[in-house]
Amino acid sequence: MKDTQHHITWEVKRSGQVAAYKDTITQYELKSNQSEGFIKLFCTQILRFSRNESPNGCYTGSCSFPFGMESYYSFVEIEANVYIYTVCNPYTG
């Protein structure tokens, strides 16, 4: 997909549960020449909302303290103008 106004391209790299009764993990790879702050804001507010940044970026499929029943995310630049945005949404049944 592409946001033509801001020249952001993204691809879903992973989406789904790691096992039955586990959290849903979605991972995107984004490419853009926009600022890192702009891309992070786009990810957390538009692409897939999340307001809790994971302190370690570890996703086991089981949300735990301090997040509980809220989603959390990690955002990293893996090379110049290429970012990985990962969101963990808790299992809700």
pLDDT per residue as tens digits for the range 29-82: 999 999 999 999 999 999 999 988 987 777 766 766 556 678 889 999 999 999
> Domain range spanning residue 29?
2-89
Report residue 55 as tokens. Answer: 């302190």
The larger pLDDT score, comparing residue 25 to residue 62, is at 25
Q: At 5, is the pLDDT very low, low, confident or very high (cuts 50, 70, 90)?
A: low
What predicted TM-score, i.e. pTM, was given to this entire model? 0.85
User: Residue 6: pLDDT above 80?
Assistant: no
Q: Report the amino acid identity of residue 45.
A: Q
CB hemisphere CA count around 3 (13 angstroms): 17
> What is the number of structural domains in the chain?
1
**Which pLDDT value is given to residue 56?**
73
Least Cα distance to 87 among 5, 15, 25 occurs for: 25
Question: What average pLDDT does range 76-93 have in this prediction?
Answer: 91
